[in-house]
Amino acid sequence: MKGNTMADSPIVHWFPGHMAKATRMITEYIKKVDVVIELLDARIPRSSANPVITELVGQKPHIVLLNKVDLADPKATKEWTEFFTKQGITVLAIDSKSGKGNKKLISTVERLSKPIIDRWVAKGIRSRSVRIIILGIPNVGKSTLINSLAGSAATRTANKAGHTRGQQWVKIGKNLELLDTPGVLWPKLEDQRAAARLAMTGAVSDDVYDLEHVMKQLLNHLLTNTPNILVERYKLKEEEMTDVDTILESIGRRRGCLVSGGVVDFDKARRIILQDYRNTKLGTITLDKVDEEPYYPENGEDTQNG
C-alpha cells in the first residue's frame, strides 16, 4: 500500500482506459443475453454500481441484487431497496455466500422472462433457454453466486458458435443459462469518496490506493456516524475521540503498533482497523447513503471527509 501523497492526488490510482474497455465488454455481453442482473455490494450500492449499465440495458429486464447484506446495516439496505424500487428497478437483497435469496432470484428471473418466451411462441420461434448475465465488480461475490445457483455439479457448456472465445454458459435451471464473465472494475474515479469506499471493501487491489486517505475517510465516517463502535472496540477515552488523527494514534498504541522509541506505526494501525471493518468487527456498516451526493473535491482539497 502506498504511503503519504499530496491532497490533490487521486486516492485510487487507475486509468481512464479501464472504463472504456469495461463499457465495450458490457455492451458485447448484453447483446448475447435476455436478462441482465447487476450485482452490487450492499455496503456501497452507489459506489459499486456501473453508471452506464442502465443505459446499456435498454428495454431488457434488469435486476439489481444487493449482495453481502449480512455485512450491511439492515436499515440502510431497506432504504436502498426502496430507492431502486421507486425507480422502477426490480431489486433483491441477497447473501451469495449462504445462498439466501437464491430461490427468489430464480423465480424473479422466470417471471421477468415470461414475456420474452411468450413472444418467441407467438412468432413460432423454437423455444431455447433464457440467457442471463450477472455483472459485478471484483470481490462483490459474483463467482460465489454463480456457483451457488449452479450447484456443485455446474454444467458449463462448450464455447458456442458466434460467441467470444473463452466465454462459457452455466446451466442454472431447466430453462435458464448464465453467461459466465470475468468481474469488471469500473470505479467512478471522478468521485474520490466512491473510489475510497471501493478500496475499503476490498474491491480494488491493496496496492493501487492511498491507505492514509482511505483510512481517514473510514475513521471520519465512524466518528461521525457510529462513534460508540470505536469506543467499544478499541476502549477509547472521551479525550481520544476528538479527531481521526488522535483516534488512529490511540488505537495504534493500544494495539501495540509501535516501533523503536515508542513511535506509533500508523500504517500498521490503519491495516488493523481496515481488517476489523472488513471482518465486521466494527459491526454491520453501510457506507453509502441514499440521500448522499457524489463528492468531487477540487485540486488541493482534502478528501478525508467520509
Summarize pLDDT for 151-193 with one digit per residue, the tens. 744 444 433 433 334 567 888 877 899 987 766 666 555 678 8
What's residue 90's pLDDT?
96
> Among the residues of 53-101, which ranges form H helices?
53-57, 74-86
Which residue numbers belong to the known binding site for GTP?
67-70, 139-144, 183
Domain-ending residue, one of 180, 202, 236: 180
Burial per residue of 193-220, b for 16 or more beta-carbon CB atoms within 10 angstroms, e otherwise: bbbbbbbbbebbeeebbbbbbbbbbbbb
Neighbours of 84 (CB within 10 A): 20
| Residues of the domain holding 67 | 16-180
In a shared domain, residues 227 and 112: no
Domain-ending residue, one of 125, 159, 180: 180
| Residues pairing with 221 in the sheet | none
Q: 34 vs 44, 103, 114, 141, 283, CA distance in Å? A: 27, 19, 11, 22, 38
- The answer to whether residues 41 and 68 touch, using CB atoms and an 8 Å cutoff, is yes
In a shared domain, residues 247 and 149: no
What's residue 35's pLDDT?
95
Split into its structural domains, the chain has a count of 2
Q: Rounded to whole angstroms, how far apart are CA atoms 98 and 96?
A: 6
Reported as a single tens digit per residue, the pLDDT across 20-59 is 777 788 888 888 899 999 999 999 999 998 777 877 888 8
CATH code: domain of residue 88: 3.40.50.300
Q: Rounded to whole angstroms, how far apart are CA atoms 29 and 179?
A: 8
Task: Please report whether residue 300 resides in a domain.
Answer: no
Which residue numbers belong to the known binding site?
67-70, 139-144, 183
Q: Rounded to whole angstroms, how far apart are CA atoms 186 and 182?
A: 13
